[in-house]
Amino acid sequence: MIGHWSRVQATFFLAAATLLLPSGASAQSTGPGFLFKQPTVRVGILGGYMLAQASGDVLDHARDQLTLGGRDFDASSWGVEVAARAAKRLDVVLGFRFSRSDVRSEMRDWVDLDNLPIEQTTTFTRMPLTLGARFYLRDPGRAVSQFAWIPEKFAPFLGVGGGVMWYRFKQAGDFVDIETLDILNFTIESNGAAPTGHVFAGVDISINPRFLWTLEGRYSFGTATTDFSFNYDQLNLRGFQATIGLAARF
């Protein structure tokens, strides 16, 4: 089983390696440090890590009964986003993200007749589709003539957004029937969609006039009501994400 810190290190290594690839590139439509027109759209990919707020009915019960820790629900986070310029310092951002944790565990208080652990796997998937507003604290670039636009090296921003989050919480493996003490193999899961909101802050770092990095921290809100498999208990979808993105201006 891959440990928590190993997952963190692997995620940011892959994200950083991806970002370094285009750092020496320059697009054909760029001049010596400028674009020939002010960009109005940007498209980006991102990678990072999500720290789940592992509390609430469903996650508390899972941690109580199984050898799961609060950080076992953390996961790599990957996504894409498209932003359109709405005003001088304001972008409207459409984004999709995906994170999934798969963790093996054992029942805390029970073993089988051979004194072996009773094992299972818990999978927690989150996929938010959101629309947000990103406000820059300074102009992200400046026009020096009718045909030239120069980006700022650093452009910090704040933002807010919301949308819908699809989720899936699944547990598969062996479990003890408390009434009969039989060991049963089965799978239970709950999936669906729930409203979500988020606040975020970060900074754009221009690589060249066409490409830029985006460093962002985001806190997401949301709670889902599970189905009968988990007694209609609440599933906490909240968490903090730190991401590194690579975007292109058009």
Which pLDDT score, from 0 to 100, does residue 192 have? 96
Biggest distance spanned by C-alpha atoms of the chain: 80
Report how far residue 45's alpha carbon sits from residue 244's, in angstroms, rounded to the nearest whole number: 9
28, part of any domain: no
- pLDDT at 24 (0 to 100): 43
Q: What pLDDT, on the 0 to 100 scale, is given for residue 36?
A: 81
Residues 59, 72: Cα–Cα separation, whole Å? 11
Residue 195 lies inside a defined structural domain of this protein: yes
pLDDT of residue 35: 80
Supply the pLDDT for residue 143.
83
Q: What is the distance between the alpha carbons of residues 239 and 70, in angstroms, rounded to a whole number?
A: 12
Domain containing residue 212 = 4-23+39-249
Q: How many CB atoms lie within 10 A of CB 184?
A: 11
- The confidence score (pLDDT) of residue 145 equals 73
Q: Is 58 left (phi over 0), alpha (psi -120 to 50) or beta?
A: alpha
Residue 88 lies in a domain: yes
Residue 32 lies in a domain: no
Tell me the two tokens of residue 98. 């995906």
In a domain, 11, yes or no: yes
Q: Which residues contact 28 (CB under 8 A, 6 or more apart)?
A: none
Whether the CA torsion 134, 135, 139, 145 is positive or negative: it is: positive
Residue 213 within a domain: yes
Residue 1: per-residue pLDDT: 46
What is the tally of structural domains in the chain? 1
The whole-number pLDDT of residue 29 equals 45
CATH number at 124 reads: 2.40.160.20
Q: Nearest 5°: phi and psi at 60?
A: -65, -45
Residue 12's SS3 state is: helix
Give the pLDDT of the chain (250 residues) as one tens digit per residue: 455 555 565 555 555 555 555 544 444 444 557 788 889 999 999 999 999 998 899 999 999 999 999 899 999 999 999 999 999 999 999 999 999 999 999 999 999 888 999 999 999 999 999 999 999 999 999 888 777 889 999 999 999 999 999 999 999 999 998 888 899 999 999 999 999 999 999 999 999 999 999 999 999 999 999 999 899 999 999 999 999 999 999 9
> CB-side exposure of 102: number of CA atoms within 13 Å?
4
- Domain assignment of residue 29, yes or no: no
> Does residue 30 form part of some domain?
no
Q: Give the pLDDT of residue 5.
A: 59
Instruction: Enter the tokens of residue 33.
Output: 């440090």
